[in-house]
Amino acid sequence: MPQMSKVELYAAIRRDHRDGMKLREIERTYNVSWRTIRKAVDSVRPEPRKKLPPRATALDPYKAVIDGILQADLDAPRKQRHTLTRIFHRLVEEHGADISYQQVRRYVADRKPQILVESGKAPTGAFIPQTHQPGMEAEVDFGDVTVKPAGAWVTCSATRSPPSC
C-alpha cells in the first residue's frame, strides 16, 4: 500500500467505515490500531503534533553567567564592553565550559536585546495605529490628472496646494 498523509488516511478510514467495513478489516487494510480508527471516525482532522519540551543544552549552566556579563556591560563605557569572543573565552577559561562558539553566539544574539529592553535602555517596540477619516488626508504626486467626477472630463492640477480642478 502506498504511503499516504494522515489526512488522506483518516479520510480513507472514514469512507470504509461508512461503507460498512468492519473495524478489524480496517485495521488490517491500513495497518493501524483501533485507537487510530476511533480518532479518524470521531474527528475530521487529525490532532496536531505535540510540541516536545526543549532539550537541555550544554550552555544551560552558563546562561546566568552570560546574563550577568551582559547586564554589567550596560553601565560600562562602549570600548570596555565584552565582545562575543571575549564572553566565549571567559566561559571556557574561567568556568571550564565545554561549549561551542556558535551556541554562545546564538544565545547572546537572542538575549542581548531582551536585557536592553528589561533595563529600559531600549524601546519595547512601538506601534502607533493611524486612523484617518475618509477624505481628510491624501497624498498627491505633482502633476496633472484627468478625472471624470460627474460625467465630464476635468483636468486637475496638483502643483498648487491645495490641489485645484
pLDDT digits (tens, 9 = 90+) for 92-129: 999 999 999 999 999 999 999 999 999 988 877 777 77
**DSSP, res 151:** S
How far apart (Å, rounded) are the C-alpha atoms in residues 140 and 142?
6
Helix (H) or strand (E) holding 93: helix 84-95
Q: What confidence tier does 134 reach under pLDDT thresholds 50, 70, 90?
A: confident
**Would you state the pLDDT for residue 58?**
94
How far apart (Å, rounded) are the C-alpha atoms in residues 104 and 135?
53
pLDDT digits (tens, 9 = 90+) for 17-76: 999 999 999 999 999 999 999 999 998 888 888 999 989 999 999 999 999 999 999 999
Radius of gyration, CA atoms only, the chain: 32
